[in-house]
Structure 1
Amino acid sequence: MNILAYIESGILEEYVLGTVSPQEKQEVECMSHIYPEIKEELMRTESALEQYALKYQTPPPASLKETLFAQMNFDEVIKPELAEPADTDVSALEEADRENTIKILPVTEQIQTEEPIAERNVFTNELNTGGTVIYPAWAKFAVAASILFALLFGWSAMKTSDLTKQNEELAASSETMKSDLDVLKKDAEYNQTLAALYRNPSFKVVKMSGLAKSPESSVAAIWDTKTNEILLDVQNLPAAPQGKQYQLWTIVDGKPVDMGVLDQEFSKKLLKMKQANPSAVAFAITLEKTGGSPSPTMEDMFVMGKV
């Protein structure tokens, strides 16, 4: 359920204005019970509309009641009593009918021909004599509701934009944190592995210190005395320049023996090299061309350590 998209759809504003269908009304009420975010937004919209209506409401004038009653005619129409037929001749009867008609007609004629009474505009409190259009209350409320809806829509769009930006920043921060945690986890695993090797009596650690070429360099050769396998822990060594690669050597009977080249990416990694000769008396690393060299370049020797 995409709560943000549902709020942005505008159905909450339509619900508050009462323009939704019965099915949509039931849906909004159900969603507001399930998701607190929707309920909070709905309450905020209802409160905004109520405050707007209270702020701009116009009470009816005190004279409205009198104006309405003045337009109503409560005169009772009394039917004339007819004289007895025996005592009245035909001409008298016709005269009576004529008089009765005269008595009744003015009421009807008054309703049809009387000048319209000036009406008071309940919104402007001004008399309306026919030239001013009086708008009903629902029209005023509809205009106010439309303005309020536009304001709420703009406010909602602004809040949505801010929320989207916050979500993006949170996602980016989360990815950065995840990446940092992964690095810390790998470092922890690497350090645990090193600690286990350094504590194992079957492994001999030969520390190679930096020479004049690179005094700050430091590499440790971890020698398995049972299998003669060599693992390198590169603690500090400059990155090899383009077209160059580091190469490990051992000194056996006064001669250098190739032990293989180091990976270009050697930081925080245990590098497995060739098996060492049990008679090796020293380890050294030189910088050679990519792929290694059959003999070491002595002027490019970076570190060296005695067994």
Structure 2
Amino acid sequence: MDIEDYIDSGILELYVAGALSEKENQEVYALMQKHPEILDEVLKIEAAIKTLTEAASPDKTQAFDTVKVRLGLEDTDHKVITLKPKTRYKWYSFTGWAACILFAIGFFWLANENNQLKNQISTTQSTNEFLEFQIEKANKSLTESKKLIAVLRDRNIISVPLAGQAVYPDAYAKVYWDKSNNNIYLDVQGLPTPPEGKVYQVWSLKLNPLTPTSLGTLDNFKTDENKIFTIENANDSEAFGITLEPAGGSESPTLDQLYTLGTVTATS
């Protein structure tokens, strides 16, 4: 076998690139062990590829020019040195490696641009979804406001103001009682935000004897912007009260935590 012809065949470049079959790899490896010239050529090819790889600057705008300079394809102010005819490096092979490197740079640039585009689309979709949510929320709020206005203007609605008590004299609330559908509309804008682990509980009261009936707790007090709650009330109420209770509510009102109280009068 002619060693020079074997080296010039290009098979060693394919070996370094990992483009050979398992059998061919084994054949090349065996020849490397047997012929120092072949081993030396493989090492030179690997060194040349490493040099080309290092030429791939992270600055993608300069990568192509950098590789051209490393390949000796760029005009410079230096005197051109003619390569020896016996040189074993095959420039078409190295140019192929440079093309691979530039392709990889371009691929990663496109991948990065694609990811940025996906992020922009995702952000736009999130913004649109948020706006749709806000519009839906506004429409719902408008509908509820119109419904509440209609309720307040109804001449059959019983209005019961609830005054602040000893535990918090500045507190106030108001009940709008619609007996036709057994609902009360409770405005608690005048109550302070309950502390952590506490909740307001609404009571329907009979006065003689004093008999409280729970109408439920205002669990969404902190998140409800309007602070107006619709509560079912089928009781023959004579008064309404609001107490501060442990989370989950109590079976009977904690009287020393009575925040507001109001009676249903004949003129209500």
Change (3 A) 1:59 1:178: closer
Matches within 5 A, 1:98-113: none
Name the SS of the counterpart of 1:292 in structure 2: coil
**Who is 1:222 aligned against?**
176
Structure with the greater alpha carbon radius of gyration: 1
**Who is 1:159 aligned against?**
113
Q: How many pairs are equivalent?
A: 186
Tell me how far apart the structure 2 counterparts of residues 177 and 185 of structure 1 sit (CA, whole Å): 12
Query: Offset of 1:198 from its aligned partner?
Result: 0.6
Residue 231 in structure 1 maps to residue 188 in structure 2: no
> Which amino acid in the other structure matches residue 305 of structure 1?
G
* Residue of 237, 261, 267 corresponding to 1:304: 261
Tell me how far apart the structure 2 counterparts of residues 173 and 198 of structure 1 sit (CA, whole Å): 37
**Who is 1:71 aligned against?**
none
Residue 148 in structure 1 maps to residue 102 in structure 2: yes
Matches within 5 A, 1:199-214: 199-214=153-168
8 A Cα contact 1:210 1:216, kept in partner? yes
The unaligned stretches of length 5 or more in structure 2 are 1-59
> Which fold has the larger relative contact order, with Cα–Cα distance below 8 Å and residues 6 or more apart in sequence?
2
Residue 292 in structure 1 maps to residue 248 in structure 2: no
Change (3 A) 1:240 1:233: farther
Query: Offset of 1:172 from its aligned partner?
Result: 5.1
8 A Cα contact 1:247 1:292, kept in partner? no
8 A Cα contact 1:260 1:274, kept in partner? no
The unaligned stretches of length 5 or more in structure 1 are 1-47, 61-123
**Who is 1:273 aligned against?**
233
Name the SS of the counterpart of 1:189 in structure 2: helix
Query: Offset of 1:270 from its aligned partner?
Result: 0.8
Matches within 5 A, 1:1-307: 52=64, 56=68, 58=73, 126=82, 128=84, 130-133=85-88, 135=90, 138-139=92-93, 141-167=95-121, 169-170=123-124, 173=127, 176-177=130-131, 179-225=133-179, 227=180, 229-236=182-189, 237=191, 238-239=193-194, 242=197, 246-250=201-205, 252=207, 255-267=209-221, 268=224, 269-277=229-237, 280=238, 282-287=239-244, 290-293=249-252, 297-306=254-263, 307=268
Instruction: Return the TM-score normalized by structure 2.
Output: 0.51
* More strand as a share of residues: 2
Change (3 A) 1:154 1:298: closer
Query: Offset of 1:215 from its aligned partner?
Result: 3.9
Change (3 A) 1:217 1:184: farther
Query: Offset of 1:155 from its aligned partner?
Result: 1.6
Change (3 A) 1:234 1:262: farther
Calculate the aligned-residue CA RMSD, in Å: 4.2
Instruction: Return the TM-score normalized by structure 1.
Output: 0.46
8 A Cα contact 1:286 1:297, kept in partner? yes
Name the SS of the counterpart of 1:262 in structure 2: strand
Change (3 A) 1:287 1:125: closer
